[in-house]
Structure 1
Amino acid sequence: MITVLFGGSRENGNTATLTRKVLEGHEHQWINLTQLSFKPVRDVRHEENHILSYNDDYQTVIDQVLQSDEVIFASPVYWYSVSATLKSFIDHWSETLQDPRYHDFKERMENINFRLVLVGGDSPRIKALPCVQQIEYSLQFLGAHLADYLIGYAEKPEEIYQDHYAIREAERWNNYYG
């Protein structure tokens, strides 16, 4: 199963368009993180407490992720980073590591194929590389890895179609899923 974790604020923006191009004709689960609620992360690493419950939408999403074969993180580049919503979701992995119900969290994440789709307007193929590293390092900490990434250039609505490289790469990824 392919799951998309969409962190953009525009459901039909350039990031969504490029990601949908990747998945055209393939069954997938699309989770719009901006429509969900993530409370601040609770850090209990240096306490004798454990995380035993979540008072937001995080557990529903992480359970979906852990059932997936493929996960695509999709985000516009906001101030040279992934969206705050996507970053908030990733930050919650710290809680999962302290939740005894997910004692095998790292092992389960290792078995997922992760990919990243980014779209930005300010030289994104250079300036979005720290986003790629951020995701790579976060996954590496869990023993997982980023299989591939795709960075598109677009500023205005539907401008992604003018980025012929990104569209070709999206089609290549689509063939990979085929």
Structure 2
Amino acid sequence: MITVLFSGGYEKGNTTTLTEHVLEGQDYRWINLEDVVNSANSTIAEDSKEQRDYEQVTDQILASEDVILVSPVNWYSISATLQHFIEQWSEALAISQYDDFKEKLSDINFRLILIGGDSPRVKALPCVKQVDYSLQFLGAHLQDYLIGYATQPGEIFKDTYAMNEAARWNRQYTTGMTAGAK
């Protein structure tokens, strides 16, 4: 099962369009992190609805073979929502129900999709490194990333590189050959 952690952007914008191109014909679960994460709050209250939602998403991630992190590039960074969600994984390390959290994460194929408008294939590379380092800290790794260029609605279709890479990812998912691809 593929789990998509969508963080920001317009519901039917370029980020969504590119991600859906990757997932065409695949079995996946789409989770909009905006519905789960309160990025204005740096801590999650114990026994709160946000904690229960967060644990439910974490359980979904741990049950997945593949996880795609999706974010627009905002001011040369991943979205605050995705950043906050990743930061909360340090909380999972301290919860007894996730004793094997790092071990389980290491078995998941993580990928990252970013969309930006200001030379994103160069200027979004620090975002890629940030996510990769965070995953490494947690015992996981970033298998692959895709950076698209788009500023206006529908403009992602003009980015032939991104659309071709999305099609390649889709073929990998279709053939079941996602491990170690890049």
For residues 1-178 of structure 1, the aligned pairs below 5 Å read: 1-38=1-38, 39-41=41-43, 53=47, 55-56=49-50, 57-178=53-174
Task: Determine the C-alpha separation between the residues in 2 that align with 1:176 and 1:54.
Answer: 39
Q: Secondary structure in 2 aligned to 1:97?
A: helix
Q: State the 1:52 CA deviation.
A: 6.7
Query: Does the 8 Å CA contact 1:41/1:95 hold for their aligned counterparts?
Result: no
Query: Does the 8 Å CA contact 1:9/1:34 hold for their aligned counterparts?
Result: no
Identity of aligned residues (%): 59
Q: State the 1:169 CA deviation.
A: 0.2
**Runs of at least 5 residues in structure 1 that lack an aligned partner in the other structure:** 43-50
Q: State the 1:105 CA deviation.
A: 0.4
Query: What count of residue pairs does the alignment treat as equivalent?
Result: 170
Match of 2:178 in 1: none
**Runs of at least 5 residues in structure 2 that lack an aligned partner in the other structure:** 175-182
Amino acid corresponding to residue 157 of structure 2 in structure 1: Y
Q: Deviations over 1:123-154 (max 9, x none)?
A: 00000001100110001001110000000000
Query: Does the 8 Å CA contact 1:52/1:99 hold for their aligned counterparts?
Result: no
Q: Deviations over 1:25-81 (max 9, x none)?
A: 111000011122334236xxxxxxxx9755402111111101000000010001111
Task: Determine the C-alpha separation between the residues in 2 that align with 1:3 and 1:36.
Answer: 14
* RMSD of equivalent CA atoms: 1.4
Q: Secondary structure in 1 aligned to 2:30?
A: strand
Task: Determine the C-alpha separation between the residues in 1 that align with 2:48 and 2:143.
Answer: 29
Task: Determine the C-alpha separation between the residues in 2 that align with 1:35 and 1:143.
Answer: 27
Q: Secondary structure in 2 aligned to 1:58?
A: helix
Task: Determine the C-alpha separation between the residues in 2 that align with 1:87 and 1:112.
Answer: 19
Task: Determine the C-alpha separation between the residues in 1 that align with 2:102 and 2:36.
Answer: 24
Query: Does the 8 Å CA contact 1:2/1:29 hold for their aligned counterparts?
Result: yes
